[in-house]
Structure 1
């Protein structure tokens, strides 16, 4: 059973966006030359394509820039340029002075999926940059939309953030849309548009992408203390997929101590023989809740926890048989009761469906795909009456987008791009006593970078223009009094 059949409106929106994009022609019929042979031949013949340059992450002292090297002469089974492994070189310099560019990273290990991360940068400084492979400069292939909310998107330069003031406390990782059990990515309706699958012999891509995320978060340069997963942990909540995602997350930490989850529309109770062995839903006996058997939350109930003094509240925004979101009056009443106590306590909430009006009117699938707007306005009003609420994390749209309530800038509403496909990553919220810094990261294992590059071509190549977001959507610093919080340290599994 497909929980969220796409509307005709959604298909038309994507078709309209695709029609505006300048796509390069590609021919089907991949060649059979080995990667090593193809690399040398393409470099010698000038057939090397160095493209898809993206400034993904900009912190106060570091940056992550990615690109791809492929063949102009050969294509893969999807008609995309065949990968060509080459070196990875990053140059930095002064804006407006090309002669100042100097190599700051040069990895000679061959890869087609380049991930250049540099540290030791100065906060609040603008740098010119160049990505280079086989001596050839990487080119941007994405439309450069004007930035919003303070974004300074511009080709060839980036500006590091100014860190929040005060003492560092802890880091919260945000992710969503894992889709464990999914086998095909990029379908809107039926078999349209062309979709993507993992190569034979490789692990399922949801496991590749979640494994890469969890491995990243263990590393000292990411240093996540806790992880919040805002829904769609599974593709369709089948028992084996629920069990598998729980197993992988439990390998990283302990539920409700190291990681916290909220249900997404794909995780909702289902009908049919595949689900008959799971607990029935009292109000709809033909539906069985396999996700709820593995993660001990009843549908349309909230969870509340504490991390270093930070109140963390998970919301269940799912409907029983629809892709859109809502909040039952009983859950709203429970939330009001929780927030009424200690109204000034710093509070972060997360749930699957986006909330704000701006999000609703810019979602490709239309406003009905997001949280019901009547309940959304009630939620915003409740946040407005609770001074401690400062952040709401959502998924569902598979994009990076930062919005605010129409009448207040006091609460940040952040949609984080999907883990399971391009851009394939997570956000880190680094909390200080004087505020917090948000940064989005792509996952960096070789298989994860390979899958992200493949799914970059979803929806006829329109996907990056919708999902990556502006530099300010992905990377920003917010001043906020968090001095009542205290450091935490992840306990591990």
Structure 2
């Protein structure tokens, strides 16, 4: 297999998916199966011993509109220089394919090809998956080499559930056209959160803690806050199994819907506090010597981020008293200048410049801080700090819409491995296929992230953890 640019079949697949959204919602027409298209190929996850790829199969109906078509799926894999062999076959036909191949060797180059009923799966028109070196183009990937030493802990990093939201993909008002829950299914935030929680306890994921960096709710009403807390509590206990930081959607609000909640100011009522964590208060947790700290970066009104002085002083005191302790920090708003320069909404969408500078300067005096997890932008992005601190700043794509998933952070004695996973229940895969058409089909170019943003290894000394 050789690297190449987009083929005619790739272009056809992209054009088909441009109108796939309406077909996913309706699904009433009969497809012409002799015109099957396997598109949207994405090699999402690469670990040391496994790889996961997804794709969708569609075909035009009698009117020429593409509709989802259930088909078989297969993936052939082999080390470079060998003939590919089938390592995955779907258990039953589906339009929304999710293939996980295990048993691979660390640090080895592999070739692969995915297909449905003899039709090769190809990428849609996404600059990330159509780059000359993209696995979807080259048909190659290299497994990661895990950090040395024993696996100590596995954490799941997630954000942006937006519980109670009814239309996904809106930016301002009703623009651009949004997407509503599929017929005969629960509201999509419930579907996607259930899929996340279902994944985490599975033996092949094995997360011991879930860390949620904000925007659990759409507008932090009493009903939304109570309901998302109930769904999370059906999985585990707050403060033990899962930790929560507040996002801008979880901030105090004004209006009659919030009248029963505790006052935050003379005009604002805070319903989120009753069910989760107090406003502007640092979340603290420790496990096996590892320190987890959650920041409330929400503003009282607005989408940007800030850290109030008492919370900042509290964080400074903790890190100053024990600066070398391995520490993971999570908060809703991204921090670095690179994040602000590349965010669709601009620098005003992230943590404000003065707080960002102070926070990163603090990290230079606390060498134990190794990772800062954020959400808010709904994308996978890894950025470097603006100060000489040895901290990874990691944005994780949203739970609630395409690509619809979470990141596993696997901590070894000699470092950590980051792996992004899409959620995999049938309903979650269908919703992700629909919402990849958000922003007029441009959302994959923004939110999926480069393969190395989603999957990478960092060497650190965690030998003192248990």
TM over 0.5: yes
Q: Distance in 2 between matches of 1:353 and 1:407?
A: 18
TM-fit CA distance, 1:332: 1.1
SS at match of 1:109: coil
Q: Which residue in the other structure is 1:19 paired with?
A: none
Q: Which residue in the other structure is 2:8 paired with?
A: none
Q: Distance in 1 between matches of 2:25 and 2:452?
A: 42
Alignment deviations for residues 287-325 of structure 1 (CA, whole Å, 9 cap, x no partner): 11000111132x222121102211000000000010000
Alignment deviations for residues 364-404 of structure 1 (CA, whole Å, 9 cap, x no partner): 11000000011101100001110100000000000000011
Inter-CA distance 136–289: structure 2 relative to 1 (3 Å threshold): same
Inter-CA distance 352–114: structure 2 relative to 1 (3 Å threshold): same
Q: Distance in 2 between matches of 1:155 and 1:451?
A: 28
Higher relative contact order (CA 8 A, sep 6+): 1
For 1:415, which of 381, 391, 395 is the aligned residue?
395
Q: Distance in 2 between matches of 1:468 and 1:457?
A: 13
Q: Which residue in the other structure is 1:18 paired with?
A: none
SS at match of 2:234: helix
TM-fit CA distance, 1:147: 11
Q: Which residue in the other structure is 2:412 paired with?
A: 432
For 1:105, which of 84, 88, 91 is the aligned residue?
88
Inter-CA distance 482–137: structure 2 relative to 1 (3 Å threshold): same
TM-score (norm. length: structure 2): 0.92
Q: Distance in 1 between matches of 2:129 and 2:121?
A: 21
Inter-CA distance 475–250: structure 2 relative to 1 (3 Å threshold): same
Inter-CA distance 342–80: structure 2 relative to 1 (3 Å threshold): farther
Q: Distance in 1 between matches of 2:351 and 2:223?
A: 29
Q: Distance in 1 between matches of 2:71 and 2:23?
A: 19
Inter-CA distance 354–80: structure 2 relative to 1 (3 Å threshold): farther
Report if the CA contact (8 A) 2:123-2:130 is conserved: no
Q: Distance in 1 between matches of 2:67 and 2:214?
A: 34
Report if the CA contact (8 A) 2:48-2:105 is conserved: yes
Q: Distance in 1 between matches of 2:293 and 2:21?
A: 49
Alignment of 1:238-257 (within 5 A): 238-257=221-240
Alignment deviations for residues 252-271 of structure 1 (CA, whole Å, 9 cap, x no partner): 11111111000000000000
Q: Distance in 2 between matches of 1:262 and 1:398?
A: 16
Q: Which residue in the other structure is 2:77 paired with?
A: 92
Q: Distance in 2 between matches of 1:147 and 1:136?
A: 19
Q: Which residue in the other structure is 2:32 paired with?
A: 42
- The runs of 5 or more residues in structure 2 that have no matched partner are 1-13
For 1:226, which of 209, 225, 228 is the aligned residue?
209
Tell me, yes or no, if structure 1 residue 68 matches structure 2 residue 38. Answer: no
SS at match of 1:431: strand
TM-fit CA distance, 1:476: 0.4
Inter-CA distance 279–74: structure 2 relative to 1 (3 Å threshold): farther
Report if the CA contact (8 A) 1:212-1:443 is conserved: yes
Tell me, yes or no, if structure 1 residue 138 matches structure 2 residue 118. Answer: no
SS at match of 1:396: coil
Q: Distance in 2 between matches of 1:324 and 1:33?
A: 37
Q: Distance in 2 between matches of 1:30 and 1:147?
A: 25
Alignment of 1:161-240 (within 5 A): 161-240=144-223
Inter-CA distance 265–30: structure 2 relative to 1 (3 Å threshold): closer
SS at match of 2:90: strand
TM-fit CA distance, 1:407: 3.5
Inter-CA distance 33–212: structure 2 relative to 1 (3 Å threshold): closer
SS at match of 2:316: helix
Q: Which residue in the other structure is 1:291 paired with?
A: 272
Q: Which residue in the other structure is 1:273 paired with?
A: 256
Report if the CA contact (8 A) 1:53-1:138 is conserved: yes
Alignment deviations for residues 19-60 of structure 1 (CA, whole Å, 9 cap, x no partner): xxx85664998599988x94xx633x2x21110000000000
For 1:115, which of 94, 98, 112 is the aligned residue?
98
* Count of residue pairs the alignment pairs up: 451
Q: Which residue in the other structure is 1:454 paired with?
A: 434
Tell me, yes or no, if structure 1 residue 465 matches structure 2 residue 450. Answer: no
For 2:315, which of 335, 354, 357 is the aligned residue?
335
Q: Which residue in the other structure is 2:11 paired with?
A: none
Inter-CA distance 154–269: structure 2 relative to 1 (3 Å threshold): same
Q: Which residue in the other structure is 1:490 paired with?
A: none
Inter-CA distance 102–27: structure 2 relative to 1 (3 Å threshold): closer
Q: Distance in 2 between matches of 1:326 and 1:100?
A: 55
Inter-CA distance 74–227: structure 2 relative to 1 (3 Å threshold): farther
SS at match of 2:32: helix
User: After the TM superposition, which parts of structure 1 deviate over 3 Å for at least 4 consecutive aligned residues?
Assistant: 22-35, 144-148, 150-155
Report if the CA contact (8 A) 1:151-1:473 is conserved: no
Q: Distance in 2 between matches of 1:115 and 1:295?
A: 34
Q: Distance in 1 between matches of 2:335 and 2:364?
A: 14
Q: Distance in 2 between matches of 1:310 and 1:32?
A: 45
Tell me, yes or no, if structure 1 residue 406 matches structure 2 residue 386. Answer: yes
TM-fit CA distance, 1:74: 6.2
Q: Distance in 1 between matches of 2:215 and 2:301?
A: 14
Report if the CA contact (8 A) 1:153-1:470 is conserved: no
Q: Which moved more, 1:136-145 or 1:307-316?
A: 136-145
- The runs of 5 or more residues in structure 1 that have no matched partner are 1-21, 487-493
Q: Which residue in the other structure is 1:14 paired with?
A: none
